[in-house]
Amino acid sequence: MHNELSPIRLFLEASTTVQLVMLLLLLASVMSLGIIWKKYRTIKLAVASADKFEKLFWAGGDLTQILETTKNDAKIGMVGLFHAGFNEFSRLSKQGVSAEQLIDATRRSMQVERLREIDRLESNLATLATVGSTSPYVGLFGTVWGIMGAFIALASVKNPTLADVAPSIAEALIATAMGLVAAIPAVIAYNRFADKVDRLETRYQTFMEEFASILQRHAFKKGS
């Protein structure tokens, strides 16, 4: 009996529609696990980079020295914001623009870099949300379809018993189980990653304002 109701046997004996549903859910599960692993590494690297750069930046070193120290680092997160802002500030300072224009342009440069970085961190999160929200319904569709087929088959049996209907119902219920298996990790990962991205975005925004204030003091000191 155990072999008859094994998941593999039930899959092989399921209807074509239910099999397609199961394969679709399996593909969605594998894809979401791949995204989860990649996104975990990406966000972990971004957090580590932010921690490292903040420690360096607030150690009180010269801005030019910080630029030189981080020139070979990956231009992501705060490192990218710092390089975008400081390079724009240095470039426009040589052109003799006013302090107000200098800081405004520097802020815009950092804002563009921040938006680009957030877009990178949020990439594929929508896919996790889609898998998490739709997989249970896809699995439920497979279950309903399988149970419907089981009852239609019972119509031709004179004296139906539980043994006649159990395999068909089990085939159908596996689709729901697979839908939950695909959805639960995707939902948990999406909520966790979305929260971490929001926290990083807040850190980036705070750094931008603090860095812009430092550059503003430099600009007005130079202009005075």
Q: Which of 1-5, 54-58, 93-97, 211-215 has the lowest mean pLDDT?
A: 1-5
Residue 3 reports pLDDT greater than 70: no
Q: How confident is the model at residue 17 (pLDDT cuts 50, 70, 90)?
A: confident
Task: Express each pLDDT in 172-186 by its tens digit.
Answer: 788 888 899 999 999
**Cα–Cα dist 82/6, whole Å:** 58
Is the full-model pTM beyond 0.85?
Answer: no
Q: In the structure, what pLDDT confidence band is assigned to residue 2 with cuts at 50, 70 and 90?
A: very low
- Which one is predicted more confidently, 166 or 30? 30
**101-149 pLDDT per residue, tens:** 888 999 999 999 999 999 999 999 999 999 999 999 999 988 888 888 7
Closest CA to 15 of 179, 181, 182, 167: 167
pLDDT at 5: 57
User: Which pLDDT belongs to residue 149?
Assistant: 76
* pLDDT value of residue 157: 65
The domain ranges of the chain are 7-223
pLDDT for 201 equals 94
pLDDT at 7 over 50: yes
User: How much of the chain exceeds pLDDT 70, in percent?
Assistant: 86
State the pLDDT confidence band at 1, using cuts at 50, 70 and 90: very low
User: For tokens 């599960």, what's the residue?
Assistant: 29
